[in-house]
Structures are given as C-alpha cells and as structure tokens.
Amino acid sequence: MTGRSGGGRGGGRGDRKGRPLPKNIIPTGVLPKDDMVKFRGDSGLDDGNKSLVGGYYDSGNNIKFSFPMAYTITLLSWSVIEYHPKYEEIGELDHVKSIIKWGSDYLLKLFIHANQTSPSSTTLISQVGGVSNNKTSTDNDVNCWQRPEDMRYERPVSSCDETASDLAGEIIAALSAASLVFNEDKKYSTNLTKTATDLFDMVTKEDPGFVQGMYTTKDECGGQAREFYNSTGYKDELVWGGTWLFFATGNATYLRYATENLVSAEEEESSVDKGVFYWNNKFTANTVLLTRLRFFIDLGYPYEESFILSNNNVDSLMCSYLSHTTHKTQGGLIFLKPDQYAPLEYAATASFLSKLYSDYLAVLHKSSSSCTNGTSFSVENLQDFSMSQVNYILGDNPMEMSYVVGYGNNYPKHVHHRGASIPWDNQWHSCAEGSTWLNSENPNPNELLGAMVRGPDWNDMFLDQRDKPWFTEPTISSNAGLVAALIALHDPPHSSSSMNGAEALGIDNSGIFHNIHFI
C-alpha cells in the first residue's frame, strides 16, 4: 500500500507484502482442499435438502443471508473489474476470483424459475438458517453458540416470490458484475448473464397488478432477516442491477431502465442513508458508475441528463467526505451514520469510492473538481482522505488499535465469531456448551486473520469483548468494502511505472466496457 503501513505502532502478522484479502470470508459446504483457514471444515451439507449447499455465512453466526451476500459479490467483483492489474501484481487475482465464484455459484441456486408443474411460482431464496418452527427443540442458529461444523439442528429456508425487488436487484447486480470478472470463461459468464437477464425481466415486468417491494416486508420472505438486514427501499437495487446488467450485456435497454429510474431511486433514499454506500443503499455507488460512463464513453441523448445528475451527486459526495461539517470522530474516522455502531463498514466504502473517483479524474488529467458552495477539491485531497480512513482502521487512531485481526501488534483478540472462539480440537461441542466459549475472557483460540470488526464508537472507544458484537463482530459485507479500499490504495504494478494514464495507476479503464459495442 502507499502511505504509512498502519497497524498501530509496529509490524505484525499482517505486514507481509501483498495480501489485501481477508481470510475470514469463509465458504460453507465442502471446503476447497487448499482452503487457507485451518480451523474450519465442511459444514451446512444438508442446507435446503442439499440443494442450497455453499455460499458464505454472514458474520459471527451460522446464517446465510442472500441480500448482503449478493452485495458482497457485487462489490468484490467491482474491485476486480477496476483493479485486476493490482490483484495480479501481488498474486491475489486467482484467490479473489475463487472467492467470487464460490459466491456466484451459490447465487445461481437462489433463483428458481417457474416451471410447467408450478407455472406461476418463481422463487428467490432469501435466507438459510435461523429459527425453525420445530417446537421440540430450541437449538438454532440464533440461540446456539456453536461451530457450523457442529450444527445438528434444523436449518429453515426462507423464500420469496418475484415481488422481492431489492433482493432480486442485488442478485442481478452480483451475477452481472461477476460475469465481467469471468468473461474469459464464456460458458460460465453467459450462464451468469442469462440468469441475471431472466430475473431482471421477471422483477421489472409491467403486468397489471404486479407490485414491487422490499423482501423484509413479508414474514415468509424476509421476516427473520428483518432484525439483521432490514431493507428500506428497492428502487436503488433495481437501478443498480440494471446498470450492471448493461455493463454485462451491452444492451441499452438496461441502461435506459437505470437512467429513467434514477431520480425515483434518489427520492426513495432515506435521509440517514444519504451518501452512504453499503448493503442497504446502492444509489451513491450507482452514480459513480454512471459518472464513469459519462467520463469515458459519452453516450449523449437520452442519457446525458442522468449522467449530469450522477456527476453532480458524486462531486457533492466527495465534497461531503472532505467537509469540516461532516461527522468525524476526534481521531479522524468519518462517521456517516452517527446514531449507529459499525462505522468502519461505511468508512471503508467511502475510502474505496473516493480513491476510485480520484483515479477516474487522474486518468482524465483532471486535477480537481468543484463543490456547490464554490470550493473545490483535488485528486490529492481525495487520495489523502481515502488513505486516512484505511490508516485509522489499521491502527492510526487514539486507541492505537488495528481493527483488522492479525495486522499490527494490537488488534482484537475476542472477535465475536463462533468458529474462531471455539477450539478446533476434533471434538463435537454441543449448543449447551456454547456459553462457555461466548463468555470466556480468554482470547479466541483461532485467529480470524484479516477480519475487520465493526469498530469503535463515536468517542473513538472500543471494547474488545466477545459478547459485545456491536464492537467485535466481523461481516462479509464490511470486509468486502475493506478489500475494495485496500486494493484501490495499493501501489500500481511495478511494470506500469513507465506508462501513462490508467495503466500507470493500476486501473483497467476499458475492461468494464468490454461488452458495449453499439457506440
């Protein structure tokens, strides 16, 4: 990485060259033989009567939530599409692609087409695991502090129909973005785009009486996810899905959908989510993608109005990151949702977007851009802000605490994570034993290397306690943001030192446009 090494005031296991990828994005199912996490084994082998094996557990629990998992795959894919030269330089390209493929393989299983025996039934799987209706046992994914390898309780499956617009939109985005990552594998890439296209057609149909909506508004669909990943809108996901599907196919129909619905997506955006890119809000990131189109492929009519709107939104976003009036802790961490915990997730994506946008400007040889109040910001301002947030995460903060496990000398030792907190001792541990490990004051016996926890509070304070997940729990969605930020900030490949433009920055300026041929 450019800039200081982070990690508090010294080195540590995380200071080795390269390795921007957390090792805590751990697959479920039959694990690959070369899996790097030595304290995990095969698990979830009966999920969905064996039809839903695979994917990723969400965080410190053993539940598979489709909504944030799809977002995770979209974001990781985006980082590869933009910065694959950097991934390749540090020897991590195959690794990150294997992570994405494990996720996209699972996402393909979640969309079940209507068929002749059930012509009116299209199914989207929203969750595997949780609380079952089994009255004879209280053991479940919520109550049991148990390794996933030790699960012996019933794991229910929650499903939706095609009115789960937000869930569908994010799956469409994930499959579309992944198709660009695997464009050299024509068969697999085509399968991803075909599934995304079929699903898009299904959830955007204009049939009389068809009603779009949020997956968590229906108990059978997202009732259990509501407490963890409650969705507050769906238009941003449909626009997000349409935008990525345009990149994946080059079909202008999807771009027209995205641009024609952009304003309605902005109007639906809740006030507390303004300027925040995370699993529940894609509007901000979508404006970055549309601005990218405006900068590098000027499509003109009928898209220009939406592109200008997007460009203005992105400039305003960057100005807000740099503004003295934006909530920041005394230690310098941007606090985009000051009434909530888990600030690092939002800081990581802000770091990614700001560095990415600075690279767009640099490729165009634009040294600065303007804010609505008459001030301006430079490419260097954005880069400094992006680096400051990552450095805070890695240890440059008042507690001198690295919030990434294994990085630096001082990092969380009591991560809220079932698998990390229970010894890998070839013994089966029951649900009843779980409280012993959850409430133990001893450090986790297994280090979840690379895992970013939720982080400190508004006062830069952090409690390294396993039973306080609002401080110590990692999630796949937040760690995807960290990966994106780290690779964006990583030094360009050494071979690019004598090059100009995008190559010198380590960004692939044209790959995202690979399938756009109608210009």
Return the active site residues: 416, 464, 473
Structure token pair of residue 389: 């947030």
Give the sign of the dihedral formed by CA 415, CA 417, CA 419, CA 422.
positive
Helices (H), 1-150: 66-89, 93-110
Spatial CB neighbours of 237, under 8 Å, sequence gap ≥ 6:
165, 166, 167, 168, 169, 170, 173, 282
**Alpha-carbon distances, residue 270 vs 198, 313, 316, 382, 441 (angstroms):** 29, 15, 17, 25, 40
Reduced 3-state DSSP string for 400-466: CCCCECCCCCCCCCCCCCHHHHCCCCCCCCCHHHHHHHHCCCCCCCCCCCCCECCCCCCCCCCCCCC
Spatial CB neighbours of 248, under 8 Å, sequence gap ≥ 6:
175, 176, 177, 179, 180, 192, 193, 196, 515
**Alpha-carbon distances, residue 362 vs 18, 170, 493 (angstroms):** 24, 30, 17
Burial of 340 per CB tally in 10 Å (0-12, 13-18, 19+):
middle
How far, in Å, CA of 373 to CA of 367, rounded? 19
Helices (H), 261-303: 262-268, 283-296
**Alpha-carbon distances, residue 237 vs 176, 194, 261, 438, 486 (angstroms):** 13, 18, 11, 36, 25
Q: For 494-502, which contacts have Cβ atoms below 8 Å and span 24 or more sequence positions?
A: 494/89, 495/89, 496/85, 501/363, 502/359, 502/363
DSSP code string of 116-158: SSSTT--EEEEEE-S--S-TT---STTT----GGG--S---EE
How far, in Å, CA of 251 to CA of 273, rounded? 30
Tell me, what DSSP letter sits at residue 170? H
In which element (H, E) is residue 378 found?
strand 376-378
> Would you tell me the crossing angle of helices 66-89 and 343-363 to the nearest 10 degrees?
50
CA 407 to centroid of chain Cα atoms: 21
- 156 cis-preceded (ω within 30 degrees of 0): no
How far, in Å, CA of 166 to CA of 381, rounded? 34
How far, in Å, CA of 428 to CA of 410, rounded? 32
